[in-house]
Chain A
Amino acid sequence: MISRLEQLKLGALKELDLITDAKEMELWRVNYLGKKSELTGILRSLSSLAVADRKSVGTVANRIRTELEDSLNKKKCNLREIQLAAATREENIDVTLPGRPLPTGRLHPITKTINEVSEIFNSMGFQVTSGPDVEWNYYNFEALNIHDDHPARDVMSTSWVDIKADKNRGPMLLRTHTTSVTARVIESQKPPIRVVEPGRVYRYEATDATHTPMFHQIDGLAVDKGITMADLKGTLYEFARRFFGEGRGVHFRCDYFPFVEPGVEMAIECLVCNGRGCRLCGNTGWLEILGAGMVHPRVLERGNIDPETYSGFAFGMGIDRLPMLRYGIDDIRQFYSNDLRFLSQF
């Protein structure tokens, strides 16, 4: 009986080996492992065998059944693998064709620059605030020590709004700098103050490659007890380091703005020639980036902040120039002509 079983197994395995599809495999299963198969018959008839044989035949028959089942499973897996491999071979695509496009939008380079600059100052505790584009003469000029006949007005040619002047705040104009927001913050907030004020500014100027009637600036202000010019230098140096990169030379020189004293101008090593001197930097090796200074005591007084107790610094810079320098853009009008072939590059 045992030898019959072994013979059965050998025959079954040999047959299994030759099987190539699922149908044959099912037939094979019915044939060798099904209810009516010889093996099942033998296992069912074990009870009729002599006690001595029952154990030995039973053991062998059960082992063979397990072996056949395992082989079947293995064969199944094998066969599936072969099938999938064949199917996969058939699925052939041209991977050099372009992918399905997702819609790609972009922010305007000016917005991106404002965001980047604002984030740097945010991380130093400066919060973004804003003020009106259409402004009173008072906040744009008077509150900042720029009286009507101040020579500084000549370089800030103003666009005036055709509307009756206010008794106290003077004529209405388009702000010539975002420093007007500084004047408003000094009037409306109490120290400690740390703000940055990005926005549109306007000049009454003819348009050319370096001038547009509208452009963007960001001003900043910090006021508290004990703020010094050393803090001004440190804050602006940190900005320059993060925006223009580690290792770029920065210097602070004396300059004049009516609303600060001492007045400061910050320059960085030229991005084109790295300080050797070229056309962009007018052979000086330096690019002027921003104006700054310690807030003038009279400006603080106008906002009812006591300059004997509090001090502060203010700064302001042109936004448009930053991407112009960074990307080598030579015509500021590009920002406002909104040609998608230009905008899609940023």
Chain B
Amino acid sequence: MKISLKWLREYVDITLSPRELANRLTMAGTETEGMQCIGENWTGITIGEITGISPHPNADRLKLVTIDLGSEQTTVVCGAPNTSIGSKVAFAPVGAQLIDGHSGEAFRLKSAKIRGITSNGMACSEKELGISDSHEGIITLPDEAPIGTPLADYLGDVIYDLAITANRPDCLSVIGVAREVAALTEQQLHLPDTSYIEAGHPIEQQISVEITAPELCSRYCASLITGIRVTDSPRWLQQRLLKCGMRPISNIVDITNYVMLEYGQPLHAFDYDQIQGRKITVRRAAAGEKITTLDGLERSLSPDMLVIADQKRAAAIAGIMGGIDSEVTDGTSSVLLEAANFNPASIHRTGSALNMPSEACTRFERGIRPELVDEAIRKATKLIIELAGGQAARGLVDVYPNRQEQEPILLTNEKIRNLLGIDFSTNRIVAALNSLGFTCRTATNPSGVRATAPYWRSDIKQEVDLIEEVARIIGYDKIPTTLLGTTLPSQNPEPMVKLKQMIRCHLRGYGFQEIVTYSLTSLELLGKLLPASSIEPPPLRMANPMTAEQEYLRPNLRANLLTTLYSNRKHEDDSIRIFELGKVYLPRQNDLPDEPEILCALLSGPRQSRSWHEGDNPVDFYDAKGTVESLINHLVTNLDFEKSSDLSLHPNKQAAILIDGNKVGIVGEIHPVVREAFDICEPTYLIEFNVSTLLPFTTGHKMFRTIPRFPAVVRDIALIADRGISHRSIQSIIEDTDLVTKVTVFDVYSGGQIPAGKKSLAYRITFQSPDHTLTDDEVDKVQQQIIGKLSRELGATLRS
């Protein structure tokens, strides 16, 4: 909310500099988001009166204007169309800082000859003064503007842009902020006089009000002013509205807005003569009821919306906007002025449903107190009589079915100490609360105060609310700073947090770059992974997707990784290894989706970063598999692989990752069709596993194994086997033999001297006994056993 410091000064003496005041308000909860100082740079600019105008001898459109500055007279060259004798103007002498009317840049006024005549300064436009964008003519000040006075004293102001929190609708007003300032700076509040003469007929003879939906309207108050004249508001009123960001319309409308800004109570003015049947009914709208609002749009209403109706139709949508039929126009002579209190939730829903946010709506939906009505309607009525003439009817209509008094709340010294960590004396507590308008009675046993919130506060409901009031008035900086001294909760880190951390660290070490992609995706992107694998089960859809790219919750990470790979390939031809460790969202019946943590990684390009050392061998399946082995072997020992059939992967270059026989993930080459759908040119390898299912296998500690005491014997054997025989089957036979502690395949070869359809495999076998040194004979025997078994079961023979 924009607040003028000058306006604020009408209610409270300001003892701080504008910047200190902003800071004090901010610290106590009313945040100053911006501060505009009008007239900050108006040094030397004074108010003058035009006493003479004569034509410029050398230019038709320029005039020589004589300005009386009180102590002296001066003559300037002026091209403005609106100069007239007797006008009060803003005179800027040579050296004054102004804004260029065309470029908008700041400049310093220099002495200049204009068409041969020296100008001793200039008469300024609003734009040149930085007040507005108006540059059609010079600013003309009201007649009462004192000649010779610095303009800054007369027009200068500071406009604060305050962020009022949702709990303080009372501060959406100048008086509300003035109350805060008074409390924070220990000053008295001066409230304006709202009395006026009630010269007309009693109001109840001229209008009646009935509330048929008291749950949506707790109070409805009205005054009636007859014989008014609708014109423009006076300049001072227009200026105040403009400074607060509101557009002047007519005196009546401007007064309702002005009083809303002043007290925080929205008001609405009806043209009394357009109210049919002289009766207002505050009722729910009928289903499908129509009203054309002030903005000229026809609105369709529903029964959860509240309307202000006359005997024929809805005259306004309560708290949102008036109807065009009862609008105050130039021809209006009698005004029915409404100040009411509406249900916050209902106003919020109506405002959102009709998409009609407004200043009134903002105040009602935050829950202002019905008591704000009293002063506001009197002040507005008074202003209408003063500025638009007319007579106020005797009395007010005031229907107030749901009166709710503020209840006293007990605040104990002990609770303050327990919650804030500091003791405040009862006197100090009472002083803080009193400054905010609370009434306090001290209480004993337990010692404290019983405090009743002032009528304008709607946010004080329990003891903690009072504690915040005390704390913010005394200042949060008075609260000490301590470290937690309470019992340390038992430290059981979530195992998943640790596991994720470990996987991330290992992959980083293996040269993978972590990425983070959006959780929302599109069916189109998922479809690139081959339809069959991407659609089952159907991913969760958003009810209100922002864009088509953000419509579904991702059921996998692959699509996002492939997209990331593609976009980076545009500028990077070297090795790319990326991974993401994040959630996917799998729908479940009648529950939140399952959100397993998935690791997904891609490898593409050369095996090693291109350098002068190595060639550029591209990565292959075994780079991906090796990564899985290194990574998972850190965590578990029973890792295995088996052939798999993921449709997004190359049918012959993929394997399921098994732990204890349970499938936890997959490794393989991206299917060329999928790869091309993502516009990726080179073979790309995928690692994907479910970290959540891995978790149970990683808990518990490994046990230490003794380092063997007796030396190992190492033998190499080379075998010839059919191409179809897997390494895995050979390895199992060798491993399952007594005394064998380790088997490593170190060469796989086919072609050359190897017969067609066969391959050669070379193994290094380590033999070791836990209880003695092996002899050559013993090892020979075991080796023969192995070779025999390989030959019998797999048809593999020793390579001669």
Is there a chain A Cβ closer than 8 Å to B210's Cβ? no
Q: How far is the CA of A222 from the CA of B472 in the complex (A)?
A: 22
A161 an interface residue at 8 Å Cβ cutoff?
yes
How far, in angstroms, from A103 to B574 measured CA to CA in the complex? 12
In Å, the complex CA distance between A136 and B590 comes to 12
Asked if B542 contacts A235 (CB within 8 A), the reply is no
A124 to B540, CA, bound (A): 39
Interface segment out of the listed B140-148, B165-173, B395-403, B779-787:
B165-173
Residue pair A253, B26 in contact (C-beta under 8 Å):
yes
14 A-B pairs within 8 Å (CB atoms) are namely A103-B608, A105-B511, A134-B540, A149-B344, A194-B484, A222-B486, A228-B482, A231-B421, A258-B166, A261-B468, A262-B419, A282-B34, A338-B567, A341-B571
Q: Is B514 an interface residue (CB 8 A)?
A: yes
- The stretch that binds B, out of A44-52, A76-84, A93-101, is A93-101
The residue that A125 contacts in the complex, of B462, B477, B484, B571, with Cβ under 8 A, is: B484
Known: A253-B27, A262-B472, A283-B35. 20 other contacts (CB 8 A): A106-B513, A124-B484, A125-B488, A159-B542, A162-B541, A162-B543, A174-B519, A192-B486, A202-B520, A213-B518, A224-B487, A229-B420, A229-B421, A230-B481, A251-B477, A258-B166, A261-B468, A284-B26, A339-B567, A340-B568
Q: Shortest CB–CB separation between residue A123 and chain B, in angstroms?
A: 11
Q: Which residues of B contact A (CB under 8 A)?
A: 26-29, 31-35, 165-168, 344-345, 348-349, 362, 365-366, 418-422, 462, 464-465, 467-468, 471-472, 476-477, 479-489, 491-494, 496-497, 501, 504, 507-520, 540-546, 550, 553, 564, 567-568, 571-572, 575-578, 582-583, 585, 587, 590, 592-593, 595, 608-609, 611-613
The residue on A at minimum CB distance from B585 is: A134
Alpha-carbon gap, A161 to B29, bound state (A): 35
Q: Which of A206, A224, A262 contacts B467 (CB 8 A)?
A: A262
Chain A residues with Cβ under 8 A from B585's Cβ? 133-134
Residues in chain A near residue B366, CB distance under 8 A: 151
- The reply to whether B516 and A133 contact each other, CB–CB distance below 8 Å, is no
Q: How far is the CA of A141 from the CA of B562 in the complex (A)?
A: 36
CB B309 to nearest CB in A, in angstroms, measures: 24
Contact of A254 among B345, B348, B476, B516 (CB under 8 A): B476
- Contact A340–B28 (Cβ < 8 Å): no
- A149 touching B345 by the CB < 8 A rule? yes
Q: Which of chain B's residues have a CB closer than 8 A to the CB of A152? A: 166
Query: Is A255's beta carbon under 8 Å from chain B?
Result: yes
Q: Is A3 an interface residue (CB 8 A)?
A: no
Instruction: Indicate if the CB atoms of B482 and A230 lie closer than 8 Å.
Output: yes
Considering only CB atoms, which chain A residue lies closest to B417 in the complex? A228
Interface residues in chain A, defined as those with a beta carbon under 8 Å from any beta carbon in chain B: 97-98, 100-108, 110-111, 115, 124-125, 127-130, 132-136, 147-152, 159-163, 166, 172, 174, 192-194, 200, 202, 204-206, 213-214, 222, 224-231, 233-235, 237-238, 251-256, 258, 261-264, 282-284, 294, 296-297, 311, 335-341, 343-344
Q: Total A-B residue pairs with C-beta atoms closer than 8 Å?
A: 262
What separation, in Å, do the CA atoms of A130 and B501 have in the docked complex?
A: 14
B564 touches A338 (CB 8 A): yes
State whether A202 touches B519 (Cβ < 8 A).
Answer: yes
Least distance between A132 CB and chain B CB atoms (Å): 5
Contact of B349 among A149, A225, A264 (CB under 8 A): A149
Task: State whether A227 and B484 are in contact (beta carbons under 8 Å apart), knowing that A151-B166, A296-B464 are contacts in the complex.
Answer: yes
A113 vs B590: C-alpha distance when bound (angstroms): 35
Q: Specify the chain B residue showing the minimal Cβ separation from A193.
A: B489
Q: A127-B494, A151-B348, A338-B564 known; A227 and B513 CB under 8 Å?
A: no
- Let me know if B593 and A134 touch, CB within 8 A: yes
CA distance A101 to B613 in the complex (A): 9
Minimum CB–CB distance for A130 against chain B, Å: 7
Q: Across the two chains, which residue of chain B brings its CB closest to A202?
A: B519
CA distance A165 to B345 in the complex (A): 21
A100 to B610 Cα, complex, angstroms:
10
- B513:A105 contact, CB within 8 angstroms: yes
Which B residue sits closest to A152, measured CB to CB? Answer: B166
> What is the minimal beta-carbon distance from A306 to any residue of chain B, in angstroms?
13
Chain A: which residue is nearest B545 at the CB level? A159
B32 to chain A, nearest CB (A): 8
Distance in angstroms from B486 CB to nearest chain A CB is 4
Contact yes or no, A160 B543, CB < 8 A? yes
User: Of B422, B510, B571, which contacts A230 at CB under 8 A?
Assistant: B422
Q: Which residues of B contact A105 (CB under 8 A)?
A: 507-514, 577
Q: Contact: B546 with A192, CB < 8 Å?
A: no
Q: Of all chain A residues, which has the CB nearest B572?
A: A340
A274 to B491, CA, bound (A): 38
Bound complex: CA A28 to CA B491 (Å) = 78
Q: Which residues of A contact B345 (CB under 8 A)?
A: 147-149
- Cβ-defined contact, A124 with B483, below 8 A: yes
CB distance from A175 to the nearest CB of B (A): 11
Min CB distance, A106 to chain B, in Å?
6
- Say yes or no: B592 contacts A127, CB within 8 Å: no
- Closest approach, in angstroms, between the C-beta of A287 and any C-beta of chain B? 13
Chain A: which residue is nearest B23 at the CB level?
A284
CB distance from A285 to the nearest CB of B (A): 9
Which of B494, B509, B593, B611 is the one whose CB lies under 8 Å from A129? B494
Which one of A135, A194, A222 has the highest number of Cβ atoms from chain B below 10 Å of its Cβ? A194
Q: Give chain A residues whose Cβ lies under 8 Å from the Cβ of B516.
A: 108, 110-111, 335-336, 338
B583 near A103: Cβ-Cβ < 8 Å: no
**Contact at B611–A100, with CB atoms within 8 Å?**
yes
Give 5 nearest A-B pairs by CB, closest first: A103-B511, A230-B421, A228-B421, A254-B29, A256-B165
Q: Are A256 and B166 in touch, CB under 8 angstroms?
A: yes
Partner of A251, one of B27, B468, B520: B27
Are A134's CB and B595's CB within 8 A? Answer: yes
Q: By the criterion CB–CB under 8 Å, are B492 and A340 in contact?
A: no
Contacts of A343 in B (CB 8 A): 513-515
Q: When the two chains form their complex, are residues A127 and B493 in contact, meaning their CB atoms are under 8 A apart?
A: yes
Q: Tell me whether B483 and A159 are in contact (CB under 8 A).
A: no
Assembled-state Cα–Cα distance A163/B420 (Å): 44
Could you tell me if A340 and B513 are in contact, using CB atoms closer than 8 angstroms?
Answer: yes
Q: How far is the CA of A106 from the CA of B514 in the complex (A)?
A: 6
Pick the contact of B468: A163, A222, A254 (CB < 8 A).
A254
Instruction: Pick the residue among A128, A253, A256, A344 that contacts B168 (CB under 8 A).
Output: A256
Docked CA distance A337–B576 (Å): 16
* Chain B, residue nearest A344 (CB): B513
Given A106-B514, A172-B592; A204-B546 close (CB under 8 Å): yes
Q: Are A256 and B595 in contact (CB under 8 A)?
A: no
A205 close to B546 (CB less than 8 A)? yes
Complex Cα spacing A98 to B484, Å: 52
Q: Is the CB of A133 within 8 A of B489?
A: no
A103–B514 Cα distance when bound, in Å, is 13
Determine the chain B residues whose CB is within 8 A of the CB of A104 once the complex forms: 511
Chain A contacts for B587, CB-based, 8 A: 163
Known contacts A193-B489, A256-B167; is A339 also within 8 Å of B568 by CB?
Answer: yes
Interchain CA distance A166-B582 in the complex, whole Å = 26
- Separation in Å of the A198 CB from the closest CB of chain B? 9
- Smallest distance from the beta carbon of B161 to chain A beta carbons, Å? 10
B484–A235 contact, CB under 8 A? yes
- B489: chain A residues within 8 A (beta carbon): 125, 127, 192-194
Query: Measured between alpha carbons, how far is A176 from B33 in the docked complex, in Å?
Result: 24
Name the B residues within 8 Å of A110 (CB-CB): 516
A130 in complex: contacting residue of B477, B496, B515, CB < 8 Å: B496
Say how far B102's CB is from chain A's closest CB, in angstroms.
26
A338 to B590: give the CA distance in the assembly, Å.
35
Could you tell me if B515 and A338 are in contact, using CB atoms closer than 8 angstroms?
A: yes
Residue of A nearest to B487 (CB): A192
- Distance (whole angstroms) from the CB of B137 to the closest CB of chain A: 33
CB atoms of A264 and B476 under 8 A apart:
yes
Inter-chain contact B421/A150, CB cutoff 8 Å: no
In the bound complex, CA of A149 to CA of B350 (Å) = 11
Chain A nearest CB from B619 CB (Å) reads 11
Determine which of B481, B486, B514, B519 lies in contact with A234 in the assembled complex, contact meaning CB atoms within 8 Å: B481
Given A128, A226, A231, A252, which contacts B477 in the complex, CB threshold below 8 Å? A252
Among A172, A205, A206, chain B packs the most CB atoms within 10 A around the CB of A172
